[in-house]
Structure 1
Amino acid sequence: MTASLEIVAQAASVWLEASPRPLILGICGSQGSGKSTLARGLVERLGVRAAILSLDDLYLSRALRADLAREVHPLLATRGVPLTHDVALGCAILDEVKAGRPVRLPRFDKASDEPLPETQWQPVDAPLDLLIFEGWCVGAAAQHASERVEPINDLEREHDADGRWRRAVNAALAGPYQALFARIDRLVLLAAPGFEVVRDWRAQQEAELRATLAAVGRDPALAMTDAQVARFIQHYERITRAILDEMPGRADLTLRLDPGREVIGKT
């Protein structure tokens, strides 16, 4: 991660000098690729007025996702894919930052699978020089219909045989999410060597979450088991594979990672 930080910090310094402030820097990468660590490192390294917004912190509540599950498709009860975020809130936050006004950044508690109340959101003074917007599908593009015909894993084969979930998710990605991502000035991709490593990376995250929960007196069982992780990441597989295939051709900076998250190439 040290190499990633050095490379992205150098690029971000150039972008900050060349662009009107605030700069909205998007960081995309699969689960466990090191986005959050990189974002925190950039805030410390760059020495500018900066804040971080995670796409994960825009997740809808379980109740709202249950509504989507009833009205659109049962798979939308699980957080993760487009349609399960509060895109309007994300757009409003980025607009406020661009306008130089103070904001409060939402926070989501993955252990309880619920957003934190607004009283626990992070206040950010204005104006900012840099807002880092990081997330697993930040900047992702929608797929063509021909790319969505065949199920990509057991989850899709068993629970989305008619493609209804895929179509709904893709329509959201093609519409409201593009309006959100259009607010990004520069895009960095942390490219995993393949989707196959994501399971191990996400399992590591859940192990860290279990340790954190235990340390603060919460139930470690709130974190997912390895078996639950294996199923959970299938919700992300289609878009993650598409990102790895097409985003390197248009991201402002792509860092290719090995299974240990070390940089093995950049474009």
Structure 2
Amino acid sequence: MAQAAHPSGPGGFPPALVERVLADALRPGIRVYGIGGLQGTGKSTLAAQLVEAAAARGVRAAALSIDDFYFDRPAREALARRVHPLLVTRGPPGTHDLALALRTLDALRRREPVSLPRFDKLGDRRRAQALWPAAGALDLVLFEGWLLGTPAEDRAALATPINALEREEDGDGRWRRWCNDALDRDYLALWARIDRLLFLQPPGFEVVPRWRLEQERALQRAEPGRAGMDQAAIARFVQHYERVGRHALRTLPGIAPATIALDAERRPLSG
């Protein structure tokens, strides 16, 4: 599905590619179209472009992110006390309110009016429900998220730490085993709600820290005066995602029915 190189950063993805993806999403029987990809790959950008392109065709569509279903920080703090301190950080398997996600997607499938949850990343809190946008009867839901469709790892692969965070803060592997078990046990029902999955494939995990830092700076520019993470904090933050992210890179090109390969500047590659 990829095409010739073209920037997919601030200017978005090429219009021809957006139209091709939209045609893929409008296949008969598709109500929830998944867009997976590691942090910074352009999932939100592509989803927004698809909503706009769908509207031009008279198709009622809305974008929804798995990021909007993070547990609120107090809930993650309670989880960290009960299970493992690393669970205070949002993102890894086990830190999403899957019951809310399933209820929301099921209501959207039934074309029922529903409020779409929103999460404030700079504040690390779920926004008040009064601020959630309302969605009426939709023809298409663009559901995006960094780990969509990713399977659990073989438990034997969890034995060896893959980065400093795992070595120094999860020496016994309890956190990564708990996250992997959650992925294997709890997320399958969510993946089953996705009718078709597109994977935005970066050239490797090594680009993720830079891309995530660019994303953070864009958030801060959009809301001047609000604090966010600096480069050191981002470097630590992405280590929480590294294990599952690398596993996604190994497995999702063979799982997702559609893949768009990207270069180190987020440009789609020919193929």
TM-score under structure 1 normalisation? 0.93
Shift of 1:3: 4.9
Partner in structure 2 of residue 92 of structure 1:
103
Secondary structure, in 3 states, of the residue corresponding to 1:264?
A: coil
Q: Structure 1 unaligned runs (5+)?
A: none
Q: CA RMSD in A?
A: 1.4
User: Residue 245 of structure 1 corresponds to which residue in structure 2?
Assistant: 250
- Tell me what 1:104 maps to: 115
Matching residue's letter, 1:252: P
Matched residue, 2:5: none
Q: CA deviation at 1:28?
A: 0.6
Distance 2:15 2:164 in 1: 36
Q: Deviations over 1:10-63 (max 9, x none)?
A: 24324424225xx10111111111000000000111231001111111011111
Aligned to 1:42: 50
d(CA) in 2 for partners of 1:206, 1:11? 27
Letter in 2 for 1:139: G
Q: How do 1:1-267 and structure 2 match up within 5 A?
A: 1=8, 3=13, 6-19=16-29, 23-47=31-55, 48-126=59-137, 128-214=138-224, 218-219=225-226, 222-266=227-271
Give the conservation status (yes or no) of the 8 Å contact 2:13–2:46: no
Q: Tell me the secondary structure at the aligned position of residue 265 of structure 2.
A: coil
Q: Which amino acid aligns with 1:187?
A: L
Unmatched segments (≥5 aa) in structure 2: 1-7
Mapped to 2, the partners of 1:4 and 1:123 lie a distance apart of 29
1:94-116 Cα distance to aligned partner (Å, 9 max, x none): 11111121111000001110000
Q: What is the CA distance between 1:223 and its match in structure 2?
A: 1.1
Matched residue SS, 2:35: strand
Q: Deviations over 1:212-256 (max 9, x none)?
A: 221xxx33xx21100110000000000110011110001011111
Which one is further off, 205-214 or 241-250?
205-214
Deviation at 1:191, TM superposition (A): 0.6
In 2: Cα distance, 1:15 partner to 1:35 partner: 14
Q: Which has the higher contact order (CA 8 A, sep 6+)?
A: 2
Alignment size in residue pairs: 258
The answer to whether the 8 Å contact 1:152/1:238 transfers is: yes
Distance 1:204 1:133 in 2: 22
Q: Distance in 2 between matches of 1:37 and 1:104?
A: 21
